[in-house]
Structure 1
Amino acid sequence: MYVCICNAIRETELRCAARRVRGNAEAIYGSLGRTPQCRQCLDEAEDIIADEVSSAGMGIAAAA
């Protein structure tokens, strides 16, 4: 599924970048070489990033 139509950013691409880069949606878009255009996707992108960060944190806690 596309999260950002303007930049053709798919959810899987956003989740992968969120695991590598810390920051908000704008920072992660930047790591992908893109910038928000119409900005309508940022709320959903932030939710996806928060979900990915939360999931990654739980994996670290489980491994400890």
Structure 2
Amino acid sequence: MDQQFKEGYRMHRVLSNLNRLDVDRLDEADRERVETARDLLEEVSFLMWPGDGAGADAHADS
């Protein structure tokens, strides 16, 4: 398996798991950490799949 694909898959899984968290049950500090982590992963995802961004969106939304 291609190394870039493996890294992208791992980021996708982490982002998916973060999106599944019930942030309403977290305290404010943890909510901010989750939001920061989501933002950073989405930014990195856009950098890994350059172009029109369609690839990054497909990976982040799944």
TM-score normalized with structure 1 length: 0.42
Greater relative contact order: 1 or 2 (C-alpha under 8 angstroms, separation 6 or more)? 2
Tell me which protein shows more helix as a share of its residues.
2
TM-score normalized with structure 2 length: 0.43
Larger radius of gyration: 2
